[in-house]
């Protein structure tokens, strides 16, 4: 099945969050970290500091054994080469359709280099619209120029 295998700790965290009736936006207020980053910690794509892990454990009333897992440095990535989930696929399609145009514009504005995916933040915002609400995804990454040597 295309469903990526969810680590057990992710399932435990999601279940506790649901039982507590907390949203990621609630956790954002508790941790002082963005909700997307917190969701990435849940999915073991980002690693938390001990303090952050303690706050998560406290908010969700989980036992301390979870702290160790949340602070470990994970092997990252979603897995299937082409994602089949329609929501995630759209981001793949955006890269397929707009990848070269974005590259042209970035090179024109910045020169030869890339947008870092490490020194990087990502926010999801809701834009209310009478014709249908809109999703705003804001990526912000440091420009890294190619080093010459």
Scan residues 54-93 and list those touching a copy of itself (CB under 8 A): 73, 75-79, 81-93
Residue 93 bears catalytic tag: yes
* 21 makes contact with a copy of itself (CB under 8 A): no
Give min distance, CB of 61 to a copy of itself, in A.
19
Q: At what angle do helices 24-31 and 35-42 cross, to 10 degrees?
A: 100
Considering only CA atoms, which of 76, 62, 75 is closest in space to residue 9? 62
* 29 makes contact with a copy of itself (CB under 8 A): no
Q: Exposure pattern of 56-68 as b/e (b: 16+ CB <10 Å)?
A: bbebbebeeebbe
58 vs 116, beta carbon nearer a copy of itself: 116
Catalytic residue, from 116, 125, 128, 134: name it.
116
Sign of the alpha-carbon dihedral angle for 21, 23, 25, 29: positive
Catalytic residue, from 65, 90, 104, 134: name it.
90
58 vs 97, beta carbon nearer a copy of itself: 97
Cα separation values, 62 from 29, 86, 97, 138, Å: 19, 32, 43, 32
Give min distance, CB of 11 to a copy of itself, in A.
12
43 vs 66, beta carbon nearer a copy of itself: 43
Catalytic residues: 90, 93, 116
């Amino acid at each position: 099945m295309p469903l990526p295998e969810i680590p057990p700790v992710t399932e435990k965290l999601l279940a506790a969050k649901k039982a507590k009736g907390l949203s990621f936006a609630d956790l954002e207020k508790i941790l002082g970290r963005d909700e997307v980053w917190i969701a990435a910690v849940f999915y073991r794509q980002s690693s938390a500091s001990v303090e952050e892990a303690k706050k998560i454990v406290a908010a969700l009333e989980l036992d301390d054994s979870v702290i160790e897992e949340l602070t470990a440095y994970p092997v990252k990535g979603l897995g299937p080469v082409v994602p089949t989930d329609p929501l995630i696929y759209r981001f793949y399609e955006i890269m397929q359709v707009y990848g070269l145009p974005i590259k042209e514009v970035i090179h024109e504005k910045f020169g030869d280099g890339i947008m870092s995916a490490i020194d990087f933040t990502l926010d999801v915002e809701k834009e209310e619209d009478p014709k249908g609400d809109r999703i705003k995804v804001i990526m912000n990454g440091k420009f890294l120029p190619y080093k010459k040597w």
